[in-house]
Chains A and B, each alone.
Chain A
Amino acid sequence: MSPGVYVHIPFCRSKCPYCGFYSVPSKRPVPIWFEGIKKEIRLYKGLFGRFDSLYLGGGTPTFLDDAILSCLTDHLFAHFDFTADREFTIEANPCDLSAEKIRLLKELGINRVNVGIQSFDDGALAFLGRRHTGREAENSLKRLRRLGFRNIGVDLIYGLPGQTLEHWEGTLNQALLFQPEHISCYELTLEEQTVFGRLQEKGEMHGLSEEDGRAFFLAAAKRLGEAGYVHYEVSNYARTEAFCCRHNSKYWNRSPYLGLGPSAHSFDGTERWWNVRSVRHYGALLKRGSPPIQARETLTKEQIRLESLALGFRTSQGVALTRMALEPRSTEMLSTLKTAGLLKLKDGRVVPTEEGFLVADSLPLCFFP
């Protein structure tokens, strides 16, 4: 499997109240970050072979000034080797997607844009602290199409307080009008150290109940299934197999990837390592010539099996029977879970059903003593 590159661009206009990713609501540290990235790219030159995917994530990559964005891609292409058919994704905010910006993205060789739509409802968007309106969301998608993007992904969020199932189905229908190649449906989770997380601690906000969580999840699976989408990972749908996100799939099938930038994670097939979180720390280490690595780990056999199962059961690929390393007890477990309608066997692989996706966090441990 060819490796992929991920670049973490940890800058946003403002911090969304639900977001637990590392990002800073300011452009001020961009120079420190950029100097760092350039050095980090050189550190890994030649170490990973040919990449077939490049993913600019964040944060809000489209928030970067055009010059920096171009310079970044130049650097990446200058020092790393990519296949001709590489998938090159950028995460984009609808309000950044002006015609000029979109043209720039095309020029830079980006062939996949993943738009943080979240919702088409102004009320919901305001609640989520998003800076765009429903109209802007629609326009950004239209513009991307008009200017020639053939691979568009949209991110949607469900489970807002008070949201009805009908409202969520409305959101899905609106997204489907644009026939996006890829749709990600994320449940609004209340994470520690976010505004919403703190509200939850105070008892002022609640996550979805088990029943509602199921209902929203299954509604998406049903609606998108009817529209012909492939449910290929717990949160991810593709219009056809060909549009499954090549880069993200590397995470799930344990292919190697190189993560650049603060807090980025890397995996070379044996070892995992991850960078320090803060931009300043990251910049300082690289300035000194040290790798900005926080920690590394080499996995034991048992850990590899656990990961393979945990990741595999999140995808429609499931886990190869040979990888399951079944002993009598887990064979019995497998048949129990099959009877319960959570797993099925397909071409020598153990594959989760839609109901199985819903309990994907518990499935792997069933096969460990």
Chain B
Amino acid sequence: MDHIRNFSIIAHIDHGKSTLADRLIQAAGLVNERDFRDQILDTMDIERERGITIKSQAISLPYVDKQGRSFELNLIDTPGHVDFSYEVSRALASCEGVLLLVDAAQGVEAQTVANAYAAMEHDLEIIPVINKIDLPSADIERVKEEIEIELGLDSDQAILCSAKEGTGIRDVLEAIVTVIPPPSGPVEKPLQALIFDAHYDPFRGTIVSCRLFSGSVRAGDRIRLMHNRATYKAEEVGLFRLNREPKKELSAGEVGYIISGIKTVSDVRIGDTITLEGNAAQAPLPGFKEIKPVVFASIYPVASDDYRSLADALEKYKLNDAALIFQKDSSAALGLGFRCGFLGLLHLEIVQERLEREYGQSLIMTSPTVQYRFLLSNGEEIIVDNPVYYPDPSTIVKAMEPFIRASIMIPERYMGAVMDLCLERRGVNAQFNYPTPGRIEIRFDMPLAEVIYDFYDSLKTVTQGYGSFDYELLDYRESDLVKLNILLNGEKVDALSQIVFRDSARPRALNACQKLKQEIPRHMFKIAIQGAIGSTVIARSTISPFRKDVTAKCYGGDITRKRKLLEKQKKGKKRMKMVGSVAIPQSAFVAVLKTDKKGS
């Protein structure tokens, strides 16, 4: 076991995690120059495009150190976003150490801090790595200071590298074998393997990624998922190279995969423990949590006839994303669709984008919302994650909404603007840290609903891109909520309703009216847009009609040309949703949640 090292790279987004992983893979000689492509571990288009790792990946890298000893380095790449913090925690639980990557020009950011703390919670060895030293704007001394003060790590140990140019990679590898301890774990004890990820393979079913903490598993063994209480036969076990490499046996300390005829990834739960049926472990490994969605929205096919096709696409998509939950839903305005739960806004966007791109769906997604709790006068407490089910206001005794602890790191000069933004977003309990001169960390308790409402973009705008943001869920707190309805020509559009904080209702309503006015094309008749609470209209706007489009000319007997033009328009119209007589473009449903950016 001495020859094994299990590690992960953690970093704020764009600090170079994927690039460094590429270099390590190259250094291990797993790919030749010809086959090399950037960001090897980010296999999905969407990951490459957005530069965000969405799913965990593992790869075993052979390495021979300076003294000639052979090692097996297991790199577990973690998703780089708070939406996936539970997956990150399970990946970290599978490691003995991490490379904490910091951009030499940007310095320590919000996710650097959050990730470093997470690594500390898991008692991991942390190797600070300062990347991008090739940049002219690199300020190594300042970054070292931040690492010392903000993270309390010994910056003398920091390794300098440029993942882009390949300098310092050898030092990184040496540090991995010298600083990070080898795994320990009794091979003779019953099997305990931690599932840190699962992928769906159309030919083999679910491929479970796991870290063995004790015992061993062979192909042919009957295994048991301890939390799920399900048993399977292990068909194949092995290591992750660039492709899967079958092995006779995986044993304590190792990271690898198990294929056992599990159909969908939803049949396994990240964080569950695998043991042997015949020789079961006493207890599962600690830290298992049911992942629960925190953001909810409905999706509908643009054309109602595509409902079946959407249902199929969701089923298929779900095979590879256990975090998405969905159930049938129907809306008066949008017809049949699905109510979905997501881990966060990024997860929501990813699901939407992949359904559209990889599964060819045309979707309308309604305003995302959080899960509210209401205590009713009959003593019942209900959970509402869909404005449609907002209870009768006269029966509400107490309303509660989820709060988060937000952490924002910014250059000091943006402090005023960010404070304003946070206070406007109902931030309370402000705390300030001054990690290094010129930088500031602001912490706020804030309703999750405010984060959903265009917070990232607003923060980016007011900080000109220099602000970084991270959050964790705190608790539910009492709140004063109302349901905001949107009416088009007097007809309530259920899919546009929102649950909002009472004092924000008017600005929200005004914004929605404005946005809809921009998004809905002019019709042949006037469209009145209203925002209302109950029967009280609190905001309105109107779209004036177009009053001429006819071509008053002669086209003789050529009816075909005219008809073809109309057929083309008819197709375009299929991408609109009809609410009464009003055609609403897809974009309008998302636009109501965007604010007009202030700042420069």
Contacts and interface: CB of A to CB of B under 8 A. Distances in A.
B525 A337 contact: yes
Interface string A324-339: 0000010011001101
Given A265-B557, A364-B566, A365-B569, A234 B524 contact: no
Nearest to A265: B557
A151 interface: no
A336 B525 contact: yes
B552 A340 contact: no
A362 B524 CA distance: 8
Interface string A312-351: 0010000000000000010011001101101000000000
B578 A329 contact: yes
A361 B563 contact: no
Interface residues of A, number: 51
Interface stretch (A35-43, A70-78, A95-103, A180-188): A180-188
Interface stretch (B264-272, B414-422, B543-551): B543-551
B581 A336 contact: yes
B37 interface: no
Interface residues of B, number: 30
A340 B551 contact: no
A74 to B, nearest CB: 24
Interface stretch (A26-34, A162-170, A303-311): A303-311
Interface in B517-537: 524-526
Interface in A146-197: 184-187, 189
B525 to A, nearest CB: 4
A213 B546 CA distance: 12
Most chain B beta-carbon neighbours within 10 Å: one of A184, A257, A314, A359: A359
Contacts of A186: 552-554
A266 B559 CA distance: 10
A342 B525 contact: yes
A311 B559 CA distance: 8
A210 interface: yes
Contacts of B569: 365
Contacts of B550: 217, 234, 314, 357-361
Contact of A340 (B524, B558, B570): B524
A265 B562 contact: no
Main SS at interface, chain A: mixed
A210 B524 contact: no
Contacts of A361: 549-551
Given A235-B554, A342-B525, A368-B570, A307 B559 contact: yes
Interface string A187-215: 10100000000000000000000100110
Interface in B564-595: 566-567, 569-570, 573-574, 578, 580-581
B179 to A, nearest CB: 65
B114 to A, nearest CB: 49
Contacts of A297: 560
Interface in B364-381: none
B287 interface: no
Given A306-B566, A340-B524, A361-B551, A259 B578 contact: no
Contacts of A88: none
Contacts of B560: 265, 272, 274, 297
B438 interface: no
A359 B581 contact: no
20 contacts: A213-B548, A217-B552, A234-B550, A265-B560, A272-B560, A274-B560, A306-B570, A307-B559, A329-B578, A332-B580, A333-B581, A340-B525, A358-B550, A359-B549, A359-B550, A360-B550, A361-B550, A364-B566, A368-B573, A369-B573
Interface of A: 6, 21, 57, 184-187, 189, 210, 213-214, 217, 234-235, 251, 257, 259, 264-267, 272, 274, 297, 303, 306-307, 310-311, 314, 329, 332-333, 336-337, 339-340, 342, 355, 357-366, 368-369
Return the 9 tightest CB-CB contacts between A and B, nearest first: A340-B525, A265-B557, A336-B581, A360-B550, A358-B548, A187-B552, A361-B549, A235-B552, A214-B548
